[in-house]
Amino acid sequence: MRKRGLLTAAFLLFLSAGLLARAPGCLSGKMERPGQPERPKFYAVRVVSEKEVLNAKNSLGAPDGGYTEILPGGQLVVIMEKELYFSPIVGDGGALDSGSIVGKGGAEIDLEGWFPMQDTQGKQYHDWMPLGISGTGFLISSSPEPINSFEGSSGVDMIKITNHSTKSLFVDAVIGYDLKAERSQESARWTRTSSSAGTTSMLWMTLSRKN
């Protein structure tokens, strides 16, 4: 069993107060934020449970035009290929999406993650917690307080989608963004930029000596 970090009750209150997601804004999955390179992705790989759902397995894997239909009042729980992490803060304080959904339909939905928790007495347990919704996906936002949350390489890999509207929700794929791969790519870009800058500097110095 994988070691999982813990979230405290303070984080639970923070999420419950401001991030309960009931909006179709996360139904994109094909959009990248303007000016950002394409992000490394992974997908849902297993259906854990389904209620009032048709063709549940169509939501697995990369987008292929085959849809899972979540009927009004329906619910779908999937396991992701990798774990989702707190969304990194970028630019003027905004956060990058932790994931997104390729889908269609005007349904109002709840998105939740299966979070490891710890109460004030130190008792460990798991609970469903809401995920934040952005215009292009969903995110796991960090608490404004420095509390004991994720530790080591732990994250959230179980996602629950609930359709609260009177219309069907159609899901082609559930996408997670690979934060570790992104960090590796960013490190590689920084190394190439530094190397290029060093080469330019050496060339300038050589030309200066000749002149």
Domain boundaries along the sequence of the chain: 7-177, 180-211
| Dihedrals phi, psi of 143, to nearest 5 degrees | -70, 145
Mean predicted confidence (pLDDT) in 100-122: 84
With a cut of 70, say whether residue 1 has pLDDT above it: no
Q: Could you tell me which residue, 122 or 44, shows the higher pLDDT? A: 44
**Residue 31 pLDDT greater than 50, yes or no:** no
Around 146, how many Cα atoms within 13 Å sit in the side-chain half-sphere? 0
Q: Burial level of 133, CB count in 10 A (0-12/13-18/19+)?
A: buried
Least Cα distance to 76 among 68, 66, 88, 85 occurs for 68
CA distance 175 to 141: 17
Alpha-helix residue ranges (DSSP H) falling in the chain: 9-18, 179-210
Nearby residues of 31 by Cβ (< 8 Å), 6 or more positions away? 100, 136
What is the pLDDT, as a whole number, of residue 198? Answer: 57
pLDDT of residue 71: 96
> Residue 86: phi, psi to the nearest 5?
-50, 140
CA distance 150 to 115: 10
- The 10s digit of each residue's pLDDT in 33-66 is 555 567 889 999 999 999 999 999 999 999 999 9
φ and ψ at 190, to 5 degrees? -65, -40
Each residue's pLDDT tens digit, 137-183 = 888 865 443 334 444 345 789 999 999 989 999 999 999 998 877 66
pLDDT value of residue 24: 54
Amino acid present at 198: G
Which CATH code is given to the segment(s) 7-177? Answer: 2.60.120
Higher pLDDT pick, 205 / 139: 139
**One-letter amino acid for residue 122 of the chain:** G
**Confidence grade of residue 7 (pLDDT, cut at 50, 70, 90):** very low
Residue 5 confidence (pLDDT) above 90 = no
pLDDT tens for 66-96 read 999 999 999 999 999 998 887 666 655 566 7
Opening angle at CA 48, ends 43 and 50, nearest 5: 105
